[in-house]
Amino acid sequence: MRGKENVMKTVWSEERQTGMGATRYHAVLLDKRWIRVSDCEDARYEGREYGVETWEIDVADDAVTASFYRSNSGRERIEASNGLEWKSFEAAERWASGATAPTTCPCCGREM
């Protein structure tokens, strides 16, 4: 009987930061923390074009990854590979750490 083969996927991260506060990158969930692809030990630098650095890494097929985006005006959006979404980096970090306290009021939807 064959065991389950290690299935891998490649995660690409196009990383950019502006001097006005905007940022975008992809991250991998490791040890209850989001780690930028470029900060991962096995990340491979692919190059830089028009101020955008491209990185890639191979991770397990079931690894949770997310794209992080913050606009110059401070609006944040995070979309994870497991279908979850957040409107703040802080909320995504809180979820990653395992904290399960609600982050929005169930009555009005405002951040708590």
Q: Structure pTM?
A: 0.80
Band of pLDDT at residue 1, cut at 50, 70 and 90? very low
Give me the percent of the chain exceeding a pLDDT of 90: 71
pLDDT tens string 70-97: 999 999 999 999 999 999 999 999 999 9
Report which of 39, 48, 89 is spatially closest to residue 67, judged by C-alpha positions.
Answer: 89
CA angle, residues 17, 92, 44, in degrees to nearest 5: 50
Residue 105 predicted with pLDDT over 80: no
Contact 55, 43 (CB under 8 A): yes
